[in-house]
């Protein structure tokens, strides 16, 4: 079955510390992967996406993610977290057979300590 | 270029009532997908419309229905509202039903009391 797993429900880091949010997917075909951020009460903002090519992708706000096919992972990273990064982060895979739709993980809530 | 817009922003309804949510797709996009995001969860696919016809449906009951208009805007209708229907409803448009990327609107927050 197609699925996305975000193993960490909550993560707390200190401002200035590095960050890694985990995402594992289960999808039989070539995955098209996305990371979104959602602030409280807001919609989804696209951080970055992976379709093909270089497995390290750069996104907005200093985020990057690395696609590892062997591990079925697409982890999000940031070298130095800012207080404004506190939000919920969602990983998603786009299905490319039948109806093209997104399957989302359950999200990781990031708290940043000053 | 105008992005995806949704109306209303917030809505409060009573259990058993019916509700209609609206979405205007991004210019040039002919496909609209709807997602439900319950509190503390990731968005879940409800259904998709392509050129005014339903093009796939997630695991939602028939009281969730939709429409797409000739200008590719869309409506989500929910009948016989239940408390569990309280959620953020997100609309996303894409260039075509075969496009990998979807562009999300800001969402409509529905509260059912």
> Looking at chain B, which residue has its C-alpha nearest residue A32?
B100
Distance from C-alpha of A80 to C-alpha of A50, rounded to nearest angstrom: 22
> Looking at chain B, which residue has its C-alpha nearest residue A31?
B100
Residues 40-99 of A with CB under 8 A from B: 41-44, 46, 49, 51, 90, 92, 94, 96, 98-99
**Residue A111 to residues A23, A94, B37, B38, B78: CA-CA distances in angstroms?**
18, 27, 21, 20, 35
**Residue B37 to residues A31, A82, A104, B109: CA-CA distances in angstroms?**
22, 26, 10, 9
Instruction: Evaluate if residue A29 carries a pLDDT over 80.
Output: no
| Of A45-54, B14-23, B74-83, the least confident | A45-54
- State the count of interchain CB pairs (< 8 A) between A and B: 61
At B1, the pLDDT band (50, 70, 90 cuts) reads low
Question: CB-based contact (8 Å) between B13 and chain A?
Answer: no
What's the whole-number average pLDDT of chain B?
A: 95
Instruction: Evaluate if residue B2 carries a pLDDT over 90.
Output: no
Shortest Cα distance, chain B CAs vs residue A14, angstroms: 23
Which residue's entry shows tokens 């907005």? A60
CB contact under 8 A, A42 and B106: yes
Task: Tell me what pLDDT residue B39 has.
Answer: 92
> Looking at chain B, which residue has its C-alpha nearest residue A104?
B42
Tell me which residue in B44, B45, B100 faces A96 most closely, judged by beta carbons.
Answer: B100
Strand, helix or coil at B75?
Answer: strand
At B14, the pLDDT band (50, 70, 90 cuts) reads very high
Q: Is A41 left (phi over 0), alpha (psi -120 to 50) or beta?
A: left
Q: If we measure between CA atoms, which residue out of B90, B79, B10 comes closest to residue A44?
A: B90
**pLDDT above 90 coverage of chain A, percent:** 82
> Residue B28 contacts by C-beta under 8 Å, 6 or more apart in sequence?
B95
Q: What is the mean pLDDT of residues A67-93?
A: 96
Q: What is the mean pLDDT of residues A63-76?
A: 96
8 A C-beta contact, residue A50 and residue A57: yes
């Amino acid at each position: 079955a197609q699925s996305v797993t975000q193993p960490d429900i909550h993560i707390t880091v200190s401002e200035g510390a590095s960050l890694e949010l985990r995402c594992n997917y289960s999808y039989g075909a070539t995955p098209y992967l996305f990371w979104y951020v959602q602030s409280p009460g807001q919609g989804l903002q696209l951080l970055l996406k992976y379709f093909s090519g270089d497995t390290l992708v750069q996104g907005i706000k200093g985020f990057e993610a690395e696609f590892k096919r062997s591990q079925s992972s697409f982890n999000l990273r940031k070298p130095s977290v800012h207080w404004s990064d506190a939000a919920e982060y969602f990983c998603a895979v786009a299905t490319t057979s039948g109806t093209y739709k997104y399957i989302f993980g359950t999200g990781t809530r990031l708290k940043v300590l000053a | 270029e105008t992005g995806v817009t949704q109306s209303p922003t917030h809505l409060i309804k009573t259990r058993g009532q019916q509700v209609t949510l609206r979405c205007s797709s991004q210019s040039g996009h002919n496909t609209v997908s709807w997602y439900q995001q319950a509190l503390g969860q990731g968005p879940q696919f409800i259904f998709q419309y392509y050129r005014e016809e339903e093009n796939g449906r997630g695991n939602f009951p028939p009281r969730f229905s939709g429409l797409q208009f000739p200008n590719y805007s869309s409506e989500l209708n929910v009948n016989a509202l239940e408390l569990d229907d309280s959620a953020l409803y997100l609309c996303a448009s894409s260039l075509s039903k075969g496009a990998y990327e979807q562009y999300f609107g800001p969402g409509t927050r529905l509260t059912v009391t």
